[in-house]
């Protein structure tokens, strides 16, 4: 049951962080928030399936829970390792791709970090930062690069921790699934 609550904790954290980001105006992209909330709801239902399967000792529910949890582990472990393995050059390239491909994220970054432009700000561009009034705006790339490594290490470490609790959940589900149900009729197994 501890593993089910761990997966529920991850799902509630995802939903809560997405709601917090949109509530405080840190994120204005409803696509990003929608995806994060959808993943959180999906994980919550998977944890619920595992919990019901464990309480009822339902073999099919436990099997599907175990398979889906293994797939979640593989994805989460891969993403966590990728976050921890990115060097500064790769982080910079990733930030530049994100900057050029999303207008809503660009506006959020400029407003929250009080900067304009990625590496250089041209006067004919629009900027959502308050520093534009004083005409003393710093470019956003150095500010983002300052935080990118720290955030990626934090996210990778947390993801790695929860991925190991998920593989523990797969192993415990496998062990529990293969046990006989103590509530069942003993003569039914003969």
Q: Is the pLDDT of residue 62 over 60?
A: yes
- Helix, strand and coil percent figures for the chain, each rounded to 5: 75, 0, 20
CA distance readout (Å), 139 to 68, 97, 135, 170:
43, 16, 12, 46
| Cβ density class 113-152: b for 16+ within 10 Å, e for less | bbbbbbeebeeeeebbbebbeeeebeebbeebeeebeeeb
In 3D space, the residue among 81, 89, 53, 88 whose CA is nearest the CA of residue 69 turns out to be 53
Domain residue limits, the chain = 1-57, 71-177
Q: How confident is the model over 68-123, as pLDDT tens digits?
A: 888 988 988 998 888 888 888 888 888 888 777 777 777 777 777 888 877 777 67
On the question of pLDDT at 165 being above 60, the answer is yes
Cβ atoms of 114 and 130 within 8 Å: the answer is: yes
In terms of average pLDDT, the best of 6-10, 35-39, 131-135, 169-173 is 169-173
Residue 43 pLDDT > 50: yes
Q: What is the model's pLDDT at position 109? A: 79
Query: What's the chain's average pLDDT?
Result: 77
- Of residues 105, 140, 144, 120, the one with CA closest to residue 26: 105
What mean pLDDT do residues 39-62 have?
Answer: 83
Instruction: Tell whether the model's pLDDT for residue 23 goes beyond 70.
Output: no
The predicted structure's pLDDT at residue 190: 46
Highest mean pLDDT: which of 5-19, 47-61, 95-109, 132-146? Answer: 47-61
CA distances from 11 to 5, 34, 56, 162, 169 (A): 10, 14, 23, 11, 15
Mean pLDDT for 31-43 is 76
E strand or H helix at 95: helix 88-101
Residue with more model confidence, 22 or 154:
154
């Amino acid at each position: 049951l501890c593993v089910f609550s761990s997966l529920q904790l991850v799902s509630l954290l995802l939903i809560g962080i997405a709601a917090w980001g949109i509530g405080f105006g840190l994120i204005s992209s409803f696509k990003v928030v929608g995806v994060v909330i959808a993943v959180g709801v999906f994980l919550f239902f998977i944890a619920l399936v595992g919990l019901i399967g464990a309480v009822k000792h339902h073999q099919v529910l436990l099997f599907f829970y175990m398979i889906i949890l293994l797939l979640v582990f593989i994805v989460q472990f891969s993403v966590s390792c990728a976050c921890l393995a990115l060097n500064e050059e790769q982080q910079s390239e990733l930030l530049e791709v994100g900057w050029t491909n999303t207008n809503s994220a660009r506006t959020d970054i400029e407003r929250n970090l009080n900067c304009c432009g990625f590496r250089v700000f041209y006067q004919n561009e629009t900027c959502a930062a308050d520093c534009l009034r004083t005409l003393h705006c710093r470019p956003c790339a150095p500010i983002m690069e300052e935080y990118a490594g720290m955030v990626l290490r934090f996210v990778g470490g947390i993801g790695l921790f929860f991925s190991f609790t998920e593989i523990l959940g797969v192993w415990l589900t496998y062990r529990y699934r293969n046990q006989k149900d103590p509530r069942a009729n003993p003569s039914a197994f003969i």
